[in-house]
Structure 1
């Protein structure tokens, strides 16, 4: 495999830089649909929905899956950067704590009084449900 089949990929959350290396292919859950990125991709800036980023570091290599809670992606021919609101390796996410959190959030939502509280809780519920879906699909 030649070097020109690879591009620079970074996945960054407010807490840490999870990935900063070359990749062969990355799949990103865009708001308008999933986007596959390889070297030479056209320039694109897009919103990212909660879901799983799949990273393949070399042709025919293993797939690393990382859950992100939304954010933005900046793609060019030689670089791809995902700025995620939250990012967690999928293998480290367990369903049971998420189910407990989802029940708690739904209860809090039923008692929420302000539009801001309802909006914030609804966003978190969406993220937790996406995490559960990702764990079940893994």
Structure 2
């Protein structure tokens, strides 16, 4: 099973894919989300969003600046104010 992950900025949907795990820079500390995680919302701090496409795979890192993250039954949505390109 996979985690449905979406990364959204005010300008557009940056990414939508099924992944193994995402580590998010929360304002109260980093947290990782796998498929089936309990629902919650968190604010983001500036930092690296780390995406693992598969277990044991090499991560992809995207720098995010501010925003929110929501985990629900549909997956993880990160609403970032800005991402480094």
Residue among 33, 43, 50 paired with 1:47: 43
Aligned twin of 1:13? 9
Aligned twin of 2:58? 62
Could you list the per-position Cα deviations for residues 26-71 of structure 1 after superposition, in whole angstroms to 9, with x for gaps in the alignment? Answer: 0000011001000111101110111110001111222110011110
TM-score by length of 1: 0.58
Gaps of 5+ in 1: 90-138
More helix by share: 1
Higher Cα Rg: structure 1 or 2?
Answer: 1
Conserved in 2, the CA contact under 8 Å of 1:26 and 1:53? yes
Question: How far apart, CA to CA, are the structure 2 residues paired with 1:42 and 1:53?
Answer: 19
Aligned twin of 2:32? 36
Gaps of 5+ in 2: none
Question: How far apart, CA to CA, are the structure 1 residues paired with 2:79 and 2:68?
Answer: 5
Moved over 6 A (4+): none
Higher RCO (CA 8 Å, separation ≥ 6 residues): 2
TM-score by length of 2: 0.92
Aligned twin of 2:68? 72
More strand by share: 2
RMSD: 1.2
Conserved in 2, the CA contact under 8 Å of 1:12 and 1:19? yes
Aligned twin of 2:80? 84
Conserved in 2, the CA contact under 8 Å of 1:40 and 1:78? no
Aligned twin of 2:20? 24
Question: How far apart, CA to CA, are the structure 2 residues paired with 1:62 and 1:12?
Answer: 22
